Amino acid sequence: MKVLAAAKGRLAGHLSPAQRAQLVLSMLEHVVTTLRASGLFSRIVVVSADERVRACAAAWGAEGWPEEQPGHNAALEAAARRLRAEGVTALLTISADLPLLRREEIGDLLAQAQRYPVVLAPAHDGQGTNALLLRPPLLLPYLFGEGSLQRYSEAARGRHLACVRYESLGLALDIDTPEDLQRSGLAERWLSAAPSAHCLREKRSCQSLDILQP
């Protein structure tokens, strides 16, 4: 997850920096608690250069790890290498901004890994990837970014790996634009919310953050 100061830049014309920080932290909490509620994971890790994000992750029952390498894919690869060295045999990498994610979808996604070593969850635009399940970790390199869904599919074919796409609303709808907020049903809350001057005071503990819940 990016540092809060850089969160959701495409919403800058519609939400204040404090509102955007509230939004991404609220979505992160939803994703972490949904993963925990599924009961299907031995551990949950949030990777971020932002100390406040890591503090929140820990408060919500996940591990907060700093980025060991700069850049989104490089940071994920470093974390995956560490997890693999610690004995993890299957790894789900999932976006932090999925406000409609349901634990049933997580269970269905993981069930695909019984037959396929590579499972992809497409974003709603049909271009991006919101979840990548690899068994074992780093079976493919991290390729998140523009057109990642196609690049992951091609990388799997090039390595002769069985690959499947799992599609669901909760895994598809990530939040980057005002239109995404409209689709999610969160627009009324976040586009009309008054800025909260006290929501992100410079304190280390997540409990000190006044985070609105969608």
Domains in the chain and their CATH numbers?
Answer: 4-208 (3.90.550.10)
Closest listed residue to residue 43, CA positions, set 110, 108, 91, 101: 91
Taking only the tens place, the pLDDT of each residue in 11-42 is 888 888 888 888 899 999 999 999 999 999 99
Q: What is the pLDDT of residue 184?
A: 78
Contacts of 203 (CB under 8 A, 6+ apart): 209
Q: Name the pTM for this structure.
A: 0.86
- Spell 22-58 as b/e; 16+ CB within 10 A means b: bbbbbbbbbbbbbbeebeeeeebbbbbebebbbbbbe
How many angstroms separate the CA atoms of 152 and 143, rounded?
Answer: 7
Taking only the tens place, the pLDDT of each residue in 59-94 is 999 999 999 999 999 999 999 999 999 999 999 999
Taking only the tens place, the pLDDT of each residue in 85-99 is 999 999 999 999 999
